[in-house]
Chains A and B, each alone.
Chain A
Amino acid sequence: LAKTTQPISMDSYEGQEVNITCSHNNIATNDYITWYQQFPSQGPRFIIQGYKTKVTNEVASLFIPADRKSSTLSLPRVSLSDTAVYYCLVGPFSGTYKYIFGTGTRLKVLA
Chain B
Amino acid sequence: NAGVTQTPKFQVLKTGQSMTLQCAQDMNHEYMSWYRQDPGMGLRLIHYSVGAGITDQGEVPNGYNVSRSTTEDFPLRLLSAAPSQTSVYFCASSPLRDRVNEQFFGPGTRLTVL
A residues sitting closer than 8 Å to B (CB atoms) are 32, 34, 36, 41-46, 49, 87, 89, 91, 93-94, 97-104
Query: What are 28 sample pairs from A and B whose C-beta atoms fall under 8 A apart?
Result: A34-B101, A34-B102, A42-B107, A43-B4, A43-B92, A43-B105, A43-B107, A43-B108, A44-B43, A44-B92, A44-B103, A44-B105, A45-B105, A49-B101, A87-B43, A91-B101, A94-B96, A97-B31, A97-B96, A97-B100, A99-B45, A100-B45, A100-B59, A101-B35, A101-B42, A101-B43, A101-B45, A103-B42
Q: Which residues of A contact B26 (CB under 8 A)?
A: none
Is the CB of B12 closer than 8 A to any CB of chain A? no
A97-B50, A98-B58, A100-B59 given; A46·B43 CB < 8 A: no
Q: Which residues of A contact B100 (CB under 8 A)?
A: 93-94, 97
User: Which of B31, B42, B43 has the largest count of A CB atoms less than 10 A from its CB?
Assistant: B43
Q: Which residues of B contact A100 (CB under 8 A)?
A: 45, 59
Main secondary structure of the interface of A (DSSP, over half): loop
Q: Which residues of A contact B99 (CB under 8 A)?
A: 49
A41-B108, A42-B108, A43-B108 given; A99·B103 CB < 8 A: yes
Contact of A103 with B101 in the complex, beta carbons under 8 Å: no
How close is B60's CB to chain A, nearest CB, in angstroms?
Answer: 11
How close is B68's CB to chain A, nearest CB, in angstroms?
Answer: 13
B:68-109 near A, CB below 8 Å: 90, 92, 96, 99-108
Count: A-B pairs, CB below 8 Å: 59
A46-B103, A97-B31, A103-B42 are known contacts; what are 11 more A-B pairs with Cβ within 8 Å? A45-B105, A46-B102, A46-B104, A49-B101, A91-B101, A98-B48, A99-B33, A99-B45, A100-B45, A101-B45, A103-B41
B:22-65 near A, CB below 8 Å: 31, 33, 35, 41-45, 48, 50, 56, 58-59
How close is B43's CB to chain A, nearest CB, in angstroms?
Answer: 4
Complex CA distance for A44 and B37, rounded to whole angstroms: 11
Contact of A97 with B48 in the complex, beta carbons under 8 Å: yes
